[in-house]
């Protein structure tokens, strides 16, 4: 952790959950590529997003994953989508639930965004099968 404003306990909780959802390999690769420029952003994401929001008990991880897939589709962020498709599977989401979530988001996001999300999700799911 680079920034002393990060809550250590929350950061540690966030890091554990981040590893659980995204996998150790993804987190290790992401952390290894950090520089002084982007370290604080990654620490903020781990502390607040993972340690505070994802760690709340109000929604199960499976539901959070499906919400993420819909929002990421709408935001047109295919690189993030691939990571979270794999995370959704780790959180117990079925391929059918992932497909239905992307279909649900399709008309809100627009068909070009939905088509890209299906392409990315299909590749991420295939990658997990190998």
- pLDDT tens column, 11-59: 999 999 999 999 999 999 999 999 999 999 999 999 999 999 999 999 9
**pLDDT band at residue 130 under the 50/70/90 scheme:** confident
pLDDT score, position 6: 82
pLDDT score, position 4: 59
State the average pLDDT over residues 77-101: 96
pLDDT score, position 2: 58
Q: Which residues contact 41 (CB under 8 A, 6 or more apart)?
A: none
pLDDT in tens, 95-112: 999 999 999 999 998 989
Q: Which residues contact 65 (CB under 8 A, 6 or more apart)?
A: 21, 84, 87, 88, 91, 93
Is-contact 87 22, C-beta < 8 A? yes
pLDDT score, position 3: 54
Is the pLDDT score of 1 beyond 70?
no
Domains and CATH numbers, the chain: 1-56 (no CATH), 60-130 (1.20.1290.10)
Is-contact 34 42, C-beta < 8 A? yes
pLDDT in tens, 115-127: 999 999 999 999 9
Q: Which of 62, 49, 70, 114 is nearest to 88 (CA)?
A: 62
């Amino acid at each position: 952790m680079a920034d002393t404003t990060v809550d250590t306990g929350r950061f540690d909780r966030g890091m554990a959950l981040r590893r659980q959802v995204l996998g150790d390999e993804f987190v290790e690769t992401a952390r290894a590529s950090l520089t002084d420029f982007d370290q604080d952003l990654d620490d903020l994401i781990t502390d607040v997003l993972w340690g505070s929001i994802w760690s709340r008990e109000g929604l199960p991880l499976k539901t959070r994953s499906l919400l993420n897939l819909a929002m990421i589709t709408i935001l047109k962020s295919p690189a993030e989508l691939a990571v979270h498709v794999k995370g959704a599977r780790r959180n117990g989401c079925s391929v059918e639930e992932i497909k239905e979530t992307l279909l649900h988001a399709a008309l809100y996001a627009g068909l070009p965004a939905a088509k890209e999300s299906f392409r990315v999700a299909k590749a991420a799911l295939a990658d997990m099968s190998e």
